Amino acid sequence: MPSVDVELVIPVHNERVVLATNVARVHAFLSEQAAFTWSIVIAENASSDGTPAIADGIAEQLTSVRVTHLVEPGRGRALRDAWLASDAAVVAYMDVDLSTDLEGFPRLVEPLLSGQTDVAIGSRLVPGATTVRGPKREFISRAYNAVLHTTLRTGFADAQCGFKALRSDVARQLLPYVVDDGWFFDTELLVLAERLGLRVREVPVTWVDDPDSRVRILPTARADLRGVVRMLRERPWREVALTLPSSSERIAK
């Protein structure tokens, strides 16, 4: 039996300024939920600004919170490590800046818990979403997703929103085939899921840009485009053999 219904991972790298306040906000929000049981994992990866000690202190103070420490940086690496170690029914993550409104979290995980979908992702680019961000980031986001639609024939609208969840059995089978350890991790995971016929549901979210975001836009965009080229060249979905329930009904494109 799963230890909890949902395990939420918050990957952090040099986030000492906002870590304690924002994890406390998430903890308080989840404590008011009665529809599912939960735990929080702070996935600290190679921080050098005091974040590790702060994370350990939070876990000592708040129930249902634990910390993992990695010696190498990378959001994808942190998520892979935490998700593969989880025994929850559903694994999820959100960015520590809480740009995505927490009210969207129950809508993200409920379709997974009820068996209606395999993967659920927050989206800033579907009807019903509310997004507040500058024109530069808006343009880059839409351009990147347009590239995905054109080259990898993706059907989802928003690959990069830091607000995602999936069934744990799906995670355990897909993650060994996800190569990227950084920001392209999300895209690679979603492309594999979609190509293998898994059900991907987009949930409209309210999202407000964090002016202190640590994401370096142009280097990240270049790395993402290199990831797209790699997937086009290698077509990794051809190597994946799913053994999920009713997987015989799922046909890779």
252 within a domain of the structure (yes/no):
no
70 within a domain of the structure (yes/no):
yes
243 within a domain of the structure (yes/no):
no
What CATH number is attached to the domain comprising 21?
Answer: 3.90.550.10
Nearest CA to 158 out of 176, 166, 146 is that of 146
Residues annotated as catalytic (active site), given as ranges: 186
Q: Are the beta carbons of 126 and 202 closer than 8 angstroms? A: yes
109 within a domain of the structure (yes/no):
yes
CA distance 224 to 125: 19
101 within a domain of the structure (yes/no):
yes
- pLDDT values of the chain reduced to their tens digit, one per residue, 253 residues: 689 999 999 999 999 999 999 999 999 999 999 999 999 999 999 999 999 999 999 999 999 999 999 999 999 999 999 999 999 999 999 999 999 999 999 999 999 999 999 999 999 999 999 999 888 888 888 899 999 999 999 999 999 999 999 999 999 999 999 999 999 999 999 999 999 999 999 999 999 987 665 566 778 888 999 999 999 999 999 988 888 765 334 434 4
Total domains present in the chain: 1
68 within a domain of the structure (yes/no):
yes
192 within a domain of the structure (yes/no):
yes
219 within a domain of the structure (yes/no):
yes
Domain with 85 in it? 6-238
pLDDT at position 213: 58
Give the global pTM: 0.92
Ranges of H-type helices in the chain = 19-31, 51-61, 75-85, 105-113, 135-151, 168-174, 185-195, 217-234
